[in-house]
A and B are shown apart, each in its own frame.
Chain A
Amino acid sequence: MSTPVLEVSDLRMQIEQKTILNGLTVTVKGGEIHAIMGPNGTGKTSLAQTLMGHPRYTVTGGTVRLDGQDVLALRPDERARLGLFLAMQYPSEISGVTTANFLRAAINAKRGEGNNIGLKAFRDELDRVMAFLDMDPTSANRYLNEGFSGGEKKRNEILQMLMLHPRVAILDEIDSGLDIDAIKVVAKGVNSLKGPDFGALIITHYQRILDYVHPDFVHIMVDGRIVKSGTAELALELDKKGYEWVRTELAHQS
């Protein structure tokens, strides 16, 4: 398979007539790790959910293409089957559905009818990935996210990502609320997918996860668009100077 390319171009989006995304452009290719940083309330989570197709958001302009295909015309499940993945900031709790059963259904949905994964193959792979992420193997038999701690939920998102092998993953505040050990595990998961077949867009408020997942590009997002892009250095500078620095710089430019 060819190297994936996710192209977001001049994306505009509103919720109830309020503009949230205001001409956002970014391109993520296979082999690349991008980080989008920004202050709270700047539309980072809205961007993640819009890319995945949450029905609450209305796109008013721009395009999103994955490998040339018009992503905006697709339902969330079709986007997922195309290879897009969103690790959510607040994953839903699904009562009565175990993580294992859900993952198997998701893998089979992706593989298509008549090409279901065998139970043993699935179980072996699940055990392997859970061990890799230092997860208790019995937790796959718990109901999806129900009663999970914040850290368990984030780990479960990474587990799903590793099982589903997306082409491009968007990780929304995957580090929030995690201690350093948990961040290391999450980072280990992301790094394990690194390669020409995989691109990632890490959305974060803090720089610290970038110590463990090295970004090739860092973008700063303010008021629904990217105002500054650079290398990993930019994240360090931002960490030192704070978001106020970006705002001041913007004010000077205009």
Chain B
Amino acid sequence: MSQTVTIDSSNHLKSLVLERFGHEPDDLVQQRLSAAEQYFTLDWPRLERTPLKKRRLDDIPIFSAPLQPKPVAPSDHALIEIRLDNNYLTHCIVPDALKQKGLILEPLQQAIERSAVRKLLGTLTGKITDRIGALNQALWHNGVFLSVPANLNEPIEVSIGHHATDEVRALIMRNLIVVGPHSRLVVTERLITEASANKMLLSEATEIIVQDGGQVEFGAIQQCASHVEGFIRRIGQIHQDAVLDWNIGEFGSSLAVSGHESHLAQPGATTRSTTVFFGSSQQHQDYTAKSLHQAPHTTSNMIARGVMKDRARSIFTGLTQIDQGARGSDGRQKEETLMLSDESRADAIPSLVIDERDVYAAHAASAGPVDRGAIFYLTSRGLSEEDAIRLIVHGFLAPVIDRIPHIGLRDEVWAAVERKIRE
């Protein structure tokens, strides 16, 4: 049985940080201690439609004693793969030829020994504004550093896996991904946990930097069990003529406060995002996607579709922001939600903030119940109601899921949808 600790004071937290992370480079330790101090002064994120008070997040023993790693065989997801199981590195496979070209894939804890990596870490997540941010910065102990060198001709495909057994009480991680000029990366992150009777806190902060002319497809599929209270924040910075595509499938955990943010920082930067979410039982999903146009001639296209059943609840907030001076930019978003039960609820909240005249911006949003007339129509041909709903859900999600370019991820998203329908 593992020991777990509930933190009750700032000094207590700081001593735990020193005990666990004191060996790290000094500047990082200082950063952690400063975050630990803020942990008690800052509150959990204040979300208009997601009250966190009654979830008693403070009662989750986040500082667990080390567990045994549970060795798992490498998957066949990609040639290049890193796996972290119960917070331990279990696999890290990079072909020698790519290593020689300068590709780096390693646990972030190892990478931060180098000052260049430490300098980049946190540049996109920025100042800590709430307790989950403080918690992540103070206690992250897991995550990946991936650096793709410039001018690789072939697209690089990388799989990142995070796995937790039922004993894990906290998964607190940071990922840092840097893609050099004119290289292409397809990276897929998979979050999976075993079910447990006790709550687990998940905190992920991912930063992606795509340098000039680079092209990145970032895919992620979250299938945590229902004891997980999750906070996921992913931010991409897109340089000149570079592209960052997000393909996100949100299916698991009890609470999921997640989102992705694209900083279109230099002219010609492009981002596209596809988000698919499916809530069942009493899941609560609060997703925020942001496209921030900070430079001229930048393009964004955000698409999201979600299905809610049982008593699940979702909020999808989309923000397209075009700063003054970002002329010639084009920002679009569209979100749609389908509710399969009277008890489920879905809000789609699009917003545009435009400070430049010479731009194109558009948004559309809808949330509605499944069409009872359509169900009658399909059942009148002999399909069971269950099959009719499955067909309708498939039809609703297909245009979005089939946009996911990575076939492996697309199939996994379909499989997750299929499972959620049956659930």
A residues with CB within 8 A of B: 49, 52-55, 75-77, 79-81, 85-86, 88, 91-97, 102, 105-106, 109-110, 143, 160, 164
Asked whether A105 lies within 8 Å of B383 as measured between CB atoms, the reply is yes
A81 to B371, CA, bound (A): 22
Smallest CB gap from B372: residue in A: A55
Asked whether A164 lies within 8 Å of B391 as measured between CB atoms, the reply is no
Asked whether B379 lies within 8 Å of A76 as measured between CB atoms, the reply is yes
Q: How far apart are A103's CB and chain B's nearest CB, in angstroms?
A: 8
Asked if B418 CB lies within 8 Å of chain A CBs, one says no
Smallest CB gap from A81: residue in B: B382
Asked if B420 CB lies within 8 Å of chain A CBs, one says no
Q: Hey, what's the 0/1 contact readout for B30-73 against A, CB within 8 Å counting as 1?
A: 00000000000000000000000000000000000000000000
A96 to B392, CA, bound (A): 8
Smallest CB gap from A97: residue in B: B395
Residue with the highest number of chain B CB atoms closer than 10 Å, among A91, A93, A105, A143: A105
Chain B residues lying within 8 Å of A77, measured Cβ to Cβ, are: 379-385, 388
Asked whether B383 lies within 8 Å of A96 as measured between CB atoms, the reply is no
Asked whether A96 lies within 8 Å of B396 as measured between CB atoms, the reply is yes
Asked whether A105 lies within 8 Å of B387 as measured between CB atoms, the reply is yes
**Other 15 A-B pairs with CB < 8 A, given A77-B382, A77-B384, A97-B394:** A49-B376, A77-B379, A77-B381, A80-B379, A85-B381, A88-B377, A92-B377, A92-B378, A94-B378, A94-B391, A95-B395, A95-B396, A105-B383, A109-B383, A143-B395
A88 to B391, CA, bound (A): 19
A selection of 8 A-B contacts at a CB cut-off of 8 Å is A76-B380, A77-B381, A80-B379, A81-B382, A96-B398, A97-B395, A109-B383, A160-B381
Q: How far apart are B196's CB and chain A's nearest CB, in angstroms?
A: 36
Among B371, B383, B396, B397, point to the contact of A106 (Cβ < 8 A): B383
Main secondary structure of the interface of B (DSSP, over half): helix
Which 6 A-B residue pairs are closest in the complex by CB-CB distance?
Answer: A96-B395, A80-B382, A106-B381, A92-B377, A97-B395, A92-B374
**Contacts A54-B376, A88-B377: A96 and B394 contacting too (C-beta < 8 A)?**
yes
A95 to B398, CA, bound (A): 9
Q: How far apart are A211's CB and chain B's nearest CB, in angstroms?
A: 28
Asked whether A164 lies within 8 Å of B381 as measured between CB atoms, the reply is yes
Chain A residues lying within 8 Å of B399, measured Cβ to Cβ, are: 95-96
Asked if B126 CB lies within 8 Å of chain A CBs, one says no
A120 to B256, CA, bound (A): 45
Asked if B95 CB lies within 8 Å of chain A CBs, one says no
Asked whether A109 lies within 8 Å of B394 as measured between CB atoms, the reply is no
Among A91, A96, A143, A164, point to the contact of B377 (Cβ < 8 A): A91
A91 to B394, CA, bound (A): 19
Q: How far apart are A154's CB and chain B's nearest CB, in angstroms?
A: 14
Chain A residues lying within 8 Å of B394, measured Cβ to Cβ, are: 96-97
Smallest CB gap from A160: residue in B: B381
Chain A residues lying within 8 Å of B395, measured Cβ to Cβ, are: 94-97, 143
Chain B residues lying within 8 Å of A79, measured Cβ to Cβ, are: 380
Asked whether A80 lies within 8 Å of B398 as measured between CB atoms, the reply is no
Asked whether A105 lies within 8 Å of B377 as measured between CB atoms, the reply is no
Chain B residues lying within 8 Å of A92, measured Cβ to Cβ, are: 371, 373-374, 376-378
A55 to B372, CA, bound (A): 9
Residue with the highest number of chain A CB atoms closer than 10 Å, among B374, B379, B398: B379
Q: Hey, what's the 0/1 contact readout for B383-423 against A, CB within 8 Å counting as 1?
A: 11101100110111111000000000000000000000000
**Contacts A77-B379, A95-B396, A96-B399: A102 and B373 contacting too (C-beta < 8 A)?**
no
Q: How far apart are B388's CB and chain A's nearest CB, in angstroms?
A: 8
Q: How far apart are B400's CB and chain A's nearest CB, in angstroms?
A: 10
Smallest CB gap from B399: residue in A: A96
**Contacts A95-B395, A96-B394: A106 and B372 contacting too (C-beta < 8 A)?**
no
Asked whether A109 lies within 8 Å of B384 as measured between CB atoms, the reply is yes
A49 to B380, CA, bound (A): 10
Chain B residues lying within 8 Å of A96, measured Cβ to Cβ, are: 394-399
Chain B residues lying within 8 Å of A94, measured Cβ to Cβ, are: 374, 377-378, 391-392, 395
Asked whether A75 lies within 8 Å of B385 as measured between CB atoms, the reply is yes
Asked whether B391 lies within 8 Å of A52 as measured between CB atoms, the reply is no
